[in-house]
Each structure stands twice: as structure tokens, then as C-alpha cells.
Structure 1
Amino acid sequence: MQIDLIQEARRQAEICNACRYCEGYCSVFPSLHTERVFSDAAITQLANLCHNCRGCYYACQYTAPHEFDLNLPKILAEVRRDSWEHYAWPRPVARRFHTHGGAIALALVVGLALLFVAIKAIGSAGGEGFYAVLSHNAMVAIFAPAFLFPLASIAISLRQYWCDVGGTTIRFSDLKAAFIRSAKMQDLAAGHEEGCNFEDEDRFTHARRHAHHAIMYGFLLCFAATSVATIMHYFFDLPAPYPLLSLPKLLGIFGGFLMTLGCVGMVRLKLKSDRGLGDSGAWSGDIGFIVLLGFVGFSGLALYALGSTTLMPPLLAVHLGSVLTFFLLTPFSKMAHGFYRLAALVRDAQRKRNAR
């Protein structure tokens, strides 16, 4: 990892540790205040606990023009991104993604082109609905490796992260505490009942928290739709297409709406926010990934709405291309934050348990 980023984060953390004004703001400060000497691993753990709500910056008396020039949200965002790049496997792909947001568009175009080729070359197996365009076996052959690769990549990355931050054997209570905190996204409130001021220094709202909730739960609903459809296909001999009121369709429609609206809201908030309080070097990658995720949800909804028309074949290719791109880029994009954030919360739960 970049030594200069770690050193600057260490300098700021030591000042925050002496001040302690922001002690109740989020998970970062209680963890920070238990340290006396900040190792590289401790800085990495703090960075992945941070959700960049920026409440500490706006409350801080030591920001510029003060000589201390504190900007903890920015430096932790930079360390966080650097840690993702350091632990990512394969590592060069992650660095190129964050510095070249256009890679998302390129990957999407390539994914679409490959799918069009696959559709023409493999053809249909005489199925109904989507399977009339691309057979079930062809879809499995394309998407199974694309789904398993990011899982393997993230598992390798998280294992290294867990070892470096001193993680120990995980107990059920650690997982429970981390999942509850993650599900509620408490740290996005910045210690205030009225929310955080991510988008405007003088305006506290829960808008960012709600956008995160919409994206996360929308994605989980879409994943549940695919999982239910898989179970129905293989265990109950009920292949697609499914009627509108079937469980896969209902889960997918609600999930698609939530994911699309959440991504639109997140882009709006990021455009209004101060880029100087985040990792400006990863701006294009962040925006590009959010747009891609929102497009996955939107194209899925369009496919539901127009699946019985002549527009279905090109819409299917566009949707599957975006999904394929999303899968392949997951280990190297902002999506990785969710996994590291959860691991950091589990490690923090262990710290609290050991402190009792």
C-alpha cells in the first residue's frame, strides 16, 4: 500500500485521538480511541469502517485553514481505495478500474458484443421466452463462470485483509452484530438522529442512508429472484418464463425498482457533494459503477415490460451484457466496499467483545 497515504492518515488519526470531539459519530472513532499507536493494519481497519458521511469534517475545528489541516474523510477514503487495490486479485485490474472509469463502458461494450456473438453462434434450443433467444444451457455456460470468478476473487482478497487486520476466529455474535449494523446503516447518520450532511454542510438528511438502503435491498431482492427461479427450475421442474404474480417476477420487479431509484438518488447526492472530502481519484470509477448498477436494474425492468414484443432479443442482450459486466467488475469496483465494510464491522465486533 502507499506509504505516504498511511503516514498522513496516521498523523490525522493521532490528532483526532487527542481531541476526541467526534467520539460518538460512527464506528470509526470508538475504534480509533482504543489505539495509542496506529499500525498500518489499524489505519486500514479504520479506513474500511468509515462510510464517508463527512460529519466529523464539518464538526472539526482543525480543518483548513488551521495548520493541522485535517480532512479525515478524504484521507480515509484514499486509504480505503488503496487497500481495495492492494488486496484485489488480480491487483492490476483494480488499479486500472479506479483510475480509468471509462473501463466500465469499454467492458460493457465488449460484454454486449460477446453476448451478441454467443446468441448468433449458440442459438436457441427451442425454448420459450428468453430461452427462445439464448438457451438455458448457454446462459449457464456464460454466467456461471462470471458469477464464480468474483466470489473467488473477493474471498482471496478478504482472507488477506482479515489476516492483516488481526482478525481471529469469528463467532456468531460477531456476525450478528456486524449484520445488524450493516442492515441499519447506522453510521450513515454521523451520530445525529436527523442524518448526515454529506450533500450540504448546513443540511442534515437521511437521503444518503435511504439511497444505500434502496440499492442494497434492491440488489438482494434481485438476487433472491434469481435464486428462487434457479430452485424452481432445478428442484421443482418449473422452468421460465414465469407469470407476473410468480415469486421470481415479484422479487425481481420490486428489486429492480429499488435498485434503479437508489442509484439515481446516489448519483444525485454525489454530484451535489464536495469532491474535496472524498477520493477524487476514484470519482469516475465510483460514478461509472453506480450508473452501471442502476442500468442493470432499469434494463431488467424494461425487459419485464417489453418481454413479449419484438424488442425482447436486443433488450435481453443489453441486459445480460450489463449483468455480465457487473459480475466481472465487482471485485474491482465500489461493490467491493460492501464486503470490506462487513469484514471491518465483524473485526470491530471482535474488538468490542474482547474489551469487555
Structure 2
Amino acid sequence: MLVKTEEVHRTTVLLEYNMENQVEGCFVVKILRMEPNKVLKPFQPFSERIANIDVDVFHRVGHKFETESEGTETYFHKGLGKWSDLNLTQSFSDFKKDLPALQTLPQLLQQKDEVVAVLNKYIKLANPLSLQPILDLVIALARDLGQEFYPYYPEFVQNLTGLLNVKDSEQLEWSFTCLAYLFKFLWRYLVKDVGIVFTGLLPLLDDSKPDYINNFAAESFAFVARKVKDKKAFLILILKTLKKHPEGIGGCGRLLFEVIRGVSGQFHSCADTLLPLMFEMLTDNAVPCDLLFEVLTHMVAAMVTVIHPKKSTLFWSSIFNGRYEHDLELSHLCHGTS
């Protein structure tokens, strides 16, 4: 069986399935054309590949599924057609056979349960040869169904979380990109149940997870957290949850940093209200101040590595307007931003 690929580093390759070996994924790579004097990309260790992953889908040029679909054809059907041309593996062929026949939105709505079941089945199989297109089709389905997709969100997140226990940078990137787009397309529904959504995400913010998992999860969910109108209630929710799950303190500190983080070493506009609020809450006897201080310590530790010193005025004005004894201790963490 032949598998077409796109041109990679200007080298056209054809992957030929080795029919003598019954294990899918054993390929003979034939180089059909190579540009003269082309230097091959050197091997990158896992840590470098992880550092190069970008799951910030919120500042990218729009995803193909963000533009309005023309006619009655769904994003899901378009995506299926595209990947049918690009991915000729047996695994993806089996996936397509399991799907019901559908093209229009009414057909998709009528058979959404079957489509969701097939997607989740193949996400759990986690075949690296077909996982990327399947996760891309999850994004397409969310775009097509909108609010109708929301009841299926918890199961998809649970299955996506199951894909993260690997040291495969591509699988990690595909999984978190899918999760980030779900947050982007479904945020209007997620903010209404932000407590449930946050609790479901908390395992990814756990101290037992690698830092890159904490960071990717925080960066992805920060978009939804910014949309929560009652920021104080959201902070109290975090603290109540951390009382039961203190292993998430560091990850939640990272989350709060990602919420107030803007671009180019600056604060996000929401920091104008959120930063003063966090430090004011340190004086509130109704709040577990020591726990909040510990969370803010992690937030500040992340902040000083990213926020440019000349852009840190908001932090200093917020911290010195506070009257809590821990404020001075926090300021010591930030001496590098002055």
C-alpha cells in the first residue's frame, strides 16, 4: 500500500507499506527527489522538541474551521475528504468505514452519537499513523455542532488526557492543539460550568505531571478563564479546589500567570483588574490567605521570566497598594523586574 505525503524540507518521499511485515507502521522510505546540497535537519532531543511546541491557537491566523462554511457541506465532511487524500493508512481506512454516511449538517446532527463514538474509539486506540487526522476531525465536529457538542466535551477531554502520558512530541502537540481549539470554540458554554470544567482539567495541573504538561494545560485553559466575568468567584473556586487537592498549587499558579500574560512581554488587558484583585484578596479574612499566597508565589515566579521589566508597572502598583504582610515577600521574588 502506498502512502502519499506532502513535501517535507523540499524532499519528496513515498512511503511503501511492507506487506511482508504484518505490523502496521513498518515502511520502506524511498527518496524520489532531493534538492542538491540540502542539509538535513539535525536530530532534536525530546526537551528541544517540547520547547518548540506552540499550542497558542488564540493568536494564530484563523483555523480552516473558523471560516464560515459555504453551502450545506459540513466542516467534518470537508476535513474527512482532505485527510482521505493525505492519509491512506489502514488505520484511517478502518476509521472511515466505521463512520456513518453523512455530508450535510442535518445528517450530522441526526447521527452525532455514532460519529462521537467512532471518534472516541479511535482516540483511545491512539494509532500514531491516524491520530492527527482524527483529532483534527474532533475540532471540525465541535465547529459544526457548537452547543450540541458540549455534552460530549467531558469524554473527549478524558480521552485526550489519556494521550498525554507519552514522550512523543508530535502526539503531545496534536492533543493539546485539539484541546485548545475545543476551548476556543466552546468557551461560551464552558464558562457557564467553569467549576466542572476546571475540576476536569486539574489533573493536568498536578505537580506529578511534567512541567510541560502543566504549562500546556494552563496556556490552553487561560483563554476560557479570561472569559469568566466574576473573577473573584473564580479565584475562590480555585482556592476551594486546592484545599482538597494541594498537589495542584504550582499548576494553578502557572494558570493564573497565563491568564494575565499578554504578548511581547506585556500583561494581558485583563490583568488591569485581576492583578489588583488577587493582592486585595490577601487582606480578606474570608479567604485562605496562606494558600493564596503560595499560589501567587508560583505565579510570580513564572511572571518574572516573561514580563519585561519596563512593562511591569502594573504589578508594582498592585502589590504596593496591598496591605498584607506577604506582599513584601512577593516583591522579593520580583527584584529582577525592577
TM norm structure 1? 0.27
More strand by share: 2
Bigger relative contact order (CA 8 A; separation at least 6) = 1
More helix by share: 1
TM norm structure 2? 0.28
